[in-house]
Amino acid sequence: MTTNTAPHVLIIVQNLPVPLDRRVWLECHALMARGYTVSVICPKGPGDPARQRIDGVYIYKYKPAPEAEGLLGFVWEFAYSWVRTAWISLAVWRRQRFDVIQACNPPDTFWLLARLWRSCGVRFIFDHHDLNPELFLSRFGAPKSVGQRLQYAGLKWLERRSFRTADRVTSTNESYKAIAIRRGGRRPNHVTVVRSGPDTKQMRPIYPPDPRPVDGINLAYLGIMGPQDGVDQVLLVMEELVHKRGRTQVTATLLGFGDCLDDLKRQSTGLGLDGHVTFTGRVDRVAIAEHLSRSDIGLCPDLKTPLNDLSTMNKTMEYMSYGLPAVSFDLAETLVSGGDTVLYVASGDISAFADAVERLIDDPALRLELGRKARERVSTQLDWRPQAEAYVAVFDEVSGFSRPGPAVPDDGEKHGTDAQGRRYVDLDDSAEFARYLRERRAP
C-alpha cells in the first residue's frame, strides 16, 4: 500500500483504558506528530464517556466485562470484548476508513478481527506487550491436568496466530523479540523492538507542592495491582521495616489499581499498616509527577516468574525519570533497564529487600548517587524519543506513507514548568539537582 494521503490507524487495547495506558498514549502522539490520523478502541475506566477526543485522538470506549473468574469467566471476557471491539470498529470505519489496525495484547485474540478487515485492504501490526503462555505458567505452574494442558496449548496457538497474521511485529524488548522469532516463526527484520521508555523531557522531577515530612522517608510503588505484580511483597517489607525493625518514620504510597487492590487494603489493615501505607487508586500523569517527585525510594516488588523475568517493568524507568533510587528483585529485564542504578536482591527475600531499603534510608549520599545516575541513564539510553522514531518507521514501511519531522516534538519544556504550572527541577544546575535529590523539596 502506497499513499500520499495521511493513513488512518486504529489501535485496539483490551487491558487498560486510554490514555491511562502510557505506552499506547505515547504511540498515539508519535503517529499523530508524523501526520497519521489515530483512533482507539478500549474499555472504559471509571467515569469515562463512551466517546472522547483527546489531543486529536478519537477514543471509542465500551463497558468492560465483569471481572473474570475461572476458565469460563476468561473465555466470556475475551469473547465479549472481541464482539464489542468488532462492532465499534464498524462505527470507526463509517466515520473514516482505516488503513492499519494495531492490536495490543493481552489477549491474543484480535488477529481474527484483523483477518476479517484484511479483505478491505487493512494491514495489521501486532504490538507485543505480554507473554500469555508465560503468564499461565507464572500463575498456575507447569500444566498437569488435561484441562490445563489444553488451556496452555490454546494460549500458544492464539499467540502463533497473532504473530503469523501480522504484517509486522513490535516487541517491547529483546527477550520478547526472541520469542516472536523462535515461537512465532517471524523473520528478524519483521520484528522491531520498541521499548516502553518514558518521554524524559516531560516525565521529570517537579518541585512538589506537598513534600513529605523532613524527618520521614516515603517509599513509592507505581503500577497495576494484579496477581502477578507482587504488591503484597511491599506490604511484607513495610511490616518488616515498621513493626520488626522500628522504622516508624517510613511510609509507603502505592499508586495504581487492579484486581488485587481490595485484597491488598485488607492485608494492610491486617498487618497494622494503615497508618503507614496509602493507596491512591487510579492516578494520572499529574498525580504521578507529584508523588514520585516527593518520594525517596522506588519499589519494584515483581517476583521472578516466567513472565516477569522477561518483561520490561515500566515502573523501573519511571522511577529513574524522577531521579528515584530503587530496590528490585533480580529480574533479567529489570537488570537491563536499571543497570547499576538499582539495588537488586534475590526474588522473594523480604529480609534482603528490607536491608536494601534500610541501606538507602541510612545513606543519603548513596540515594543521591543512584538518583543522579538513574536520571542520566534513562534520559540518554532509555528515552521514548528514539523508540518513537523506530515505532513510526514500522507504520511508514507498512503504509508507504512518510512525512518528515520528529515523532516527539520538542515542546512543553521551554518555560520551565509543566502544564499545571509546577516548576521543573533544573537538571542542568548540578548543585541544585543534588540538593533536590537529598531533600526532595523546593529550595
Say yes or no to pLDDT of 334 above 70: yes
What stretches of 301-436 adopt beta strand conformation (E)? Answer: 326-329, 342-345
Angle between helices 350-362 and 364-381 (to 10 degrees): 100
Helix/strand/coil for 264: helix
Percent of the chain with pLDDT over 90: 87
Instruction: Give the Cα separation of 207 and 426 in Å (integer).
Output: 10
Mean pLDDT of 177-194: 97
Break the chain into its structural domains and give their ranges: 8-197+384-399, 217-379
**What is the enclosing helix (H) or strand (E) of 217?**
strand 217-222
Top-tier CATH class for 8-197+384-399:
alpha beta
Sheet holding 8-13, edge to edge: 51-54, 57-62, 37-43, 8-13, 100-104, 123-128, 168-171, 191-193
Residue type, 114: A
Characterize 125-156 residue by residue with b for buried, 16 or more Cβ atoms within 10 angstroms of its Cβ, and e for exposed: bbbbbbbbbbbbbbeeeeeeeeeeeebbebbb
33-87 pLDDT per residue, tens: 999 999 999 999 889 999 999 999 999 999 998 876 666 777 888 899 999 999 9
Provide the CATH number for the domain formed by 217-379 in this structure: 3.40.50.2000
Mean pLDDT of 411-422: 75
81-122 pLDDT per residue, tens: 999 999 999 999 999 999 999 999 999 999 999 999 999 999
Show Cβ contacts of residue 317 under 8 Å, excluding neighbours closer than 6 positions.
196, 197, 198, 337, 378, 382
Say yes or no to pLDDT of 229 above 70: yes
Are the folds of 8-197+384-399 and 217-379 the same? yes
Mean pLDDT of 415-429: 89
